A = this chain, B = another copy of it.
Amino acid sequence: MTTLRSFDDSLPMALLRAREAAMRRFRPLLAEHDLTEQQWRVLRVLASAESPMDVGQIADETFLLGPSLSRILAKLDNRGLVVRRTDPADHRRSVVRLSADGRRLFARIAPDSEQRYTEIEQSFGADRLSNLLVLLKELEDST
């Protein structure tokens, strides 16, 4: 039988395991606030945006497909965490921003999230972490 490179050494698997290890720290925090990973990605990207974002932008930055994102936004909208409006300049687009509640929720989660991130940074090492981030970025760009 053809032997593939060892399963453990495969890059996609290594990336999956590493991500899983990292996310293990954050998942309980998100669960406390009834947020999925994807919902949190959307909230984060909106929180860091200067101005309302259109759906396409959000999709690009969160790595979500249009249909998934539509549903997620509908859910966040129902929960009152985001506000959707038709872009006055282009009625095809809808622009999205955090509501006051959304900002409050984000502000309540962010410090905890930051702390857990710092824990990773400390146990892994800040130097190695920034090294890793550079490599990941380069991998992404080399494709």
Contact = CB atoms under 8 A, between A and B. Distances in A.
Contact of A2 (B7, B17, B107): B107
A143 B117 contact: no
Contact of A5 (B111, B114, B135, B138): B114
Contacts of A11: 22, 117, 120, 129, 132-133
Assembly stoichiometry (copies): 2
A112 to B, nearest CB: 10
A25 B140 CA distance: 12
Interface size of A as a range? 35 or more
A89 interface: no
A31 interface: no
Interface string A108-143: 001101100100100111001101110111111011
Most chain B Cβ neighbours within 10 Å, of A18, A106, A120: A18
Interface of A: 1-7, 9-26, 41, 44-45, 47-48, 61, 63, 103, 106-107, 110-111, 113-114, 117, 120, 123-125, 128-129, 131-133, 135-140, 142-143
